[in-house]
Amino acid sequence: MLKINDADNFRRTLAGLALISAPLAFGGSDVIRLSIEGGVGEGREQLAAIAASSGLWQVAAALNMIGVILFVPAILGLMHLLRERSTILGHLGGGLALVGFLGWAAHNRGYYGLMGAASTSDVRGEMPGFIEHWMMSPDTIYYVLMFLVGSTFGMLLLSIGLYRARVTYRWAAALFLLGTVLYEVNSFTPASESVFAVGILQALIAVGLGGTGLAVLAMSDADWARVRGATETEEGLVVARPRVQ
């Protein structure tokens, strides 16, 4: 039960709920975006596809931003879980991931906002050249590098750390790690534009992080406050125990 005046309870509950909902919002945005523009190429065809589904495009933009916001407490929750085991992976991964999602927020406004506005502009035929110039400008490259490098390596380090630390269900950590690795590999293949392929990979990440969120919600406030050593229960959940002094 959420106790807003209890710091440990509030942080644990917020982290658990964010770990469940953030990847769902982010994955939903990815799937909707690809269902609109996937396979249509770039330029006028892409803008025409976005214009034909302008309402869905706005939904994708909103879900993407909601996912970015929710990933902040989710990442902080993962860093908390890894503060005693896989500490370096937790700190490096969490720091990079937070930088990456700052870049994602800028990307959301730049990509979704610009493409949505360009698709409904009276000068849509002239927009492809402008967009190409805009995408190669230094200020755009900065935040693109932020989200590409930060989110890619940050989430990878966090997934490895979570699997090594044994502070959640082993299957959840394994699915998060597997989904993260495959998603990054897939981004360099033609299947990166496939709604089905991306949907499956996003589902793996969502189930892995969602399982971790359930593990966090199942913890007591005392266990959350002293995440240290770990031991497995019969159900496969790794729960915290106090360090022996």
Question: Tell me: the pLDDT tens digits for 20-50?
Answer: 999 999 999 999 999 988 767 666 787 888 8
**pLDDT score, position 235:** 46
- 154-189: b or e for each residue (b if 16 or more CB lie within 10 Å)? bbbbbbbbbbebbbbbeebbbbbbbbbbebeebeee
* Angle subtended at Cα 114 by Cα 125 and Cα 45, rounded to the nearest 5 degrees: 40
Question: What average pLDDT score do residues 142-152 get?
Answer: 84
- Say what the alpha-carbon torsion angle 28, 31, 35, 40 is, to the nearest 10 degrees: 140
> What percentage of residues in the chain have a pLDDT greater than 90?
44
Q: Can you read off the two tokens belonging to residue 37?
A: 């523009």
Identify whether the C-beta of residue 71 lies closer than 8 Å to the C-beta of residue 18.
Answer: yes
Q: Tens digit of pLDDT for each residue in 158-193?
A: 999 999 988 889 999 999 999 999 998 988 887 778
**pLDDT score, position 56:** 93
Q: Is residue 13 over pLDDT 80?
A: yes
